[in-house]
Chains A and B, each alone.
Chain A
Amino acid sequence: MPEHTLLEVTDLVKHFPVGGGLLSKPTSWVKAVDGVSFHVAKGESFGLVGESGCGKTTLGRLVMRLLDPTAGTVKLDGKDITHLSRSALRPLRQQMQIIFQDPFSSLDPRMKVEAIVTEPLRAYDRIPRGQRREKAVALLEKVGLRAGDMDKYPHEFSGGQRQRIGIARSLCVRPKLIVADEPVSALDVSIQAQVINLLDDLRVEFGLSYVFISHDLSVVEYMCDRIAVMYLGGIVETAPADVFSVNSRHPYTRALLAAVPLPDPQGQVPPAPLDGDVPSPIDPPAGCAFHTRCPYVHERCRIERPVLAKTGERHWVACWLNAGAGFSV
């Protein structure tokens, strides 16, 4: 691979127990993330899209080691962090930060903005108060807030401003990688654009890599260099953003794209819309997880699970149609 890989995720699995108590075993497992592999290059913005419940948030938290994976590995800058203890992980946390979806839950209501923004510093070394304030001012100005906002509490801000505070916090330790977990989906459309542009500017300025999680295809297409589509805990397709909208191969990706309202009156004829709901991740379908809703389902799809296969430059698809006689819509 020519580019320098910053994050490498291999066969990551996370199963959550369902039921079970102090003495009884869990009755079943939710397969939230079920064998996911991808990598993110330095400076790259990698998009993860999928319906709610497909496991994208869980995946983001696994990457951050906020959750412990059931199996698989996460490598940051070549170092395996999958099994590092909390204290061994601490110095590495400076290299990766997370931005949350809900700007109301992600800021402590009892903390002043200054303390929130500089909290990541507190875990590492004792920094004099004066320097902390300076740092907080610089960070706030960077994200478009004022120095005077430092002594306010989160409830004095709007949703968009709160999200900016969250972004300032994530930048505090100068990370290389930021996991942005639906950073704009809780915001108004007009504010969304501002925050997305801010994130885009910051990427250039700080040389950041993003794992950008969203259910909004248009946001991801705008923000990201490469996009992965998740369905029921697995990645079904990865493609460069420019290829994604015009030449995606997986029936699920096509269906997602067709669901995006296009401003173009001469747009392509949408493929058959999807029927039914996402199956339960407790008992996912055998074979291809998508076969219950796929308009092109084959016999093989019900039995054997397709793996990601290369179909073009940086373009991988997990679909039997693609692997076999070719795929046409």
Chain B
Amino acid sequence: MKKYFTNLNFSLGFALSFVVIAMAVISFAWTPYKPNAMNARHRLEAPSISHPLGTDQYGRDTLSRVMVGAVNSIVVGLVTVAIGLSLGVLLGLISAYYGRWADESIMRFSDLLFGFPAILTAILITSILGPSAINAMLAIGIFYIPVFARLTRAVSMTLWEREFVAAARASGASEWAITIRHILPNILSPLIIQGTIQFAVAILAEAGLSYLGLGAQPPHASWGRMLNEAQTFMDISPWMAIFPGVAIALAVLGFNLLGDGLRDTLDPKMVKVR
């Protein structure tokens, strides 16, 4: 564990991510105010003792909404990465193992998904399925499938050529047993690293979709949505935009650094092991 924290990227990323996750966890038990409670007397206020991050145009407490927004962002990160991982790893394994037409069709399908501008297609998907938090997650998650499929394919293809796989075959292990026992444990670290980075990307993507009104619907708090609402009042109350913006930036930065740090610390070991 010590070697992780000697890495600056990891330590910084861990600290930032920890703050975001802590905010989300605390928000379940306590927020300074009810996140959706309006208060007409305290609209568009600057930060003060009673409202540390100010209030919005309905007098809702920004700190409370940022905290609840953290939950939203984390759920989006988890769900999209879960969609991408489960289907991507499955397709990647199939692609690497069967090769030939299975590989060709899966990889061309991946190219197809990669070929579209992600945000445009996400807009397309959400406008077909209707704007909602769940559809936004689906749209982002679908784009993660080829990311994980390609990674899984690339890493497991080289693994299937290794001699320990031949040794397992010579011992009579079934292909399924080899996949579970040898292939999956060996692709775990790159998948964890990629998953952390995609988590950060998902937070940004969801903020983008929510900003466009295609993600979380009002009055549900989401950082992107908060930015969108704030933009009307930029002249009067810039605070409304600054804090959700800072939250997005720090969360994305945090999970990215965490991923980079994991890569720095996990990869050299893997090189040494090989």
Residues of A within 8 A of B (CB): 22, 61, 64, 66, 86, 89-91, 93-94, 96-98, 100-102, 104-111, 119-120, 122-124, 153-155, 166, 169, 172-173
* Across-interface contacts of B168 in A (CB, < 8 A): 119
Contact across chains for A89 and B172 when beta carbons are under 8 A apart: yes
* Across-interface contacts of A66 in B (CB, < 8 A): 166, 169-170
Bound-state CA distance A155–B271 (Å) is: 10
Bound-state CA distance A20–B104 (Å) is: 14
Interface residues of B in 102-128 (CB under 8 A from A): 104
Contact across chains for A120 and B273 when beta carbons are under 8 A apart: no
Determine if B28 is an interface residue (Cβ-Cβ < 8 Å). no
Q: Can you report 30 A-B residue pairs in the complex whose CB atoms are below 8 A from each other? A: A22-B101, A22-B104, A61-B166, A66-B169, A89-B172, A91-B172, A93-B170, A93-B171, A93-B172, A94-B172, A97-B171, A98-B167, A98-B170, A100-B167, A101-B163, A106-B164, A106-B167, A108-B182, A109-B186, A109-B270, A109-B274, A110-B186, A111-B182, A119-B168, A122-B177, A124-B172, A153-B273, A154-B273, A155-B272, A173-B171
Chain B: number of interface residues, binned into ranges = 20 to 34
Bound-state CA distance A169–B101 (Å) is: 36
* Across-interface contacts of B174 in A (CB, < 8 A): 86, 123
A119, A155, A166 — most chain B CB neighbours (10 Å): A119
Interface residues of B in 182-226 (CB under 8 A from A): 182, 185-186, 188
B163, B169, B182, B273 — most chain A CB neighbours (10 Å): B163
Determine if B162 is an interface residue (Cβ-Cβ < 8 Å). yes
Q: How far is the CB of A164 from chain B (nearest CB, A)?
A: 14
Q: Given contacts A98-B166, A111-B181, A172-B171, could you give 13 more A-B pairs where the C-beta distance is less than 8 Å?
A: A86-B174, A93-B170, A94-B172, A102-B163, A105-B163, A106-B162, A110-B182, A119-B173, A122-B173, A122-B177, A153-B273, A154-B273, A155-B273
* Across-interface contacts of A108 in B (CB, < 8 A): 164, 181-182, 185-186
Q: How far is the CB of A282 from chain B (nearest CB, A)?
A: 21
Q: How far is the CB of A172 from chain B (nearest CB, A)?
A: 8
* Across-interface contacts of A98 in B (CB, < 8 A): 166-167, 170
Interface residues of B in 142-184 (CB under 8 A from A): 162-164, 166-174, 177, 181-182
Q: How far is the CB of B67 from chain A (nearest CB, A)?
A: 39
* Across-interface contacts of A61 in B (CB, < 8 A): 166
Closest to A124 in B: B172
* Across-interface contacts of A101 in B (CB, < 8 A): 163
Determine if B3 is an interface residue (Cβ-Cβ < 8 Å). no
A105: contacting residue among B162, B181, B186, CB under 8 A: B162
Determine if B100 is an interface residue (Cβ-Cβ < 8 Å). yes
Contact across chains for B170 and A110 when beta carbons are under 8 A apart: no
Q: How far is the CB of B168 from chain A (nearest CB, A)?
A: 6
* Across-interface contacts of B185 in A (CB, < 8 A): 108, 110-111
* Across-interface contacts of A172 in B (CB, < 8 A): 171
Interface residues of B in 1-25 (CB under 8 A from A): none
Q: How far is the CB of A221 from chain B (nearest CB, A)?
A: 26
Given A102-B163, A122-B177, A123-B177: A97 and B170 interface contact (C-beta under 8 Å): yes
Contact across chains for B171 and A119 when beta carbons are under 8 A apart: yes
* Across-interface contacts of A119 in B (CB, < 8 A): 167-168, 171, 173, 181
Q: How far is the CB of B160 from chain A (nearest CB, A)?
A: 12
Bound-state CA distance A102–B164 (Å) is: 10
Q: How far is the CB of B197 from chain A (nearest CB, A)?
A: 22
Pairs A-B, 10 closest by C-beta atoms = A123-B172, A120-B171, A106-B163, A93-B172, A109-B273, A90-B172, A110-B185, A105-B163, A108-B164, A155-B273
Closest to A92 in B: B172
Bound-state CA distance A101–B164 (Å) is: 11
Bound-state CA distance A234–B66 (Å) is: 74
Q: How far is the CB of B189 from chain A (nearest CB, A)?
A: 9
Contact across chains for B171 and A123 when beta carbons are under 8 A apart: yes
Q: How far is the CB of A61 from chain B (nearest CB, A)?
A: 8
* Across-interface contacts of A102 in B (CB, < 8 A): 163
Bound-state CA distance A155–B272 (Å) is: 8
Bound-state CA distance A64–B166 (Å) is: 10
A101, A110, A122, A172 — most chain B CB neighbours (10 Å): A110
Closest to A115 in B: B181
* Across-interface contacts of B177 in A (CB, < 8 A): 122-123
Contact across chains for A120 and B172 when beta carbons are under 8 A apart: yes
Q: How far is the CB of A129 from chain B (nearest CB, A)?
A: 16
* Across-interface contacts of A93 in B (CB, < 8 A): 170-172
B104, B173, B188 — most chain A CB neighbours (10 Å): B173
Bound-state CA distance A111–B188 (Å) is: 13
Bound-state CA distance A40–B191 (Å) is: 46
Bound-state CA distance A292–B174 (Å) is: 45
* Across-interface contacts of B182 in A (CB, < 8 A): 108, 110-111
Bound-state CA distance A123–B169 (Å) is: 10
Interface residues of B in 247-274 (CB under 8 A from A): 270, 272-274
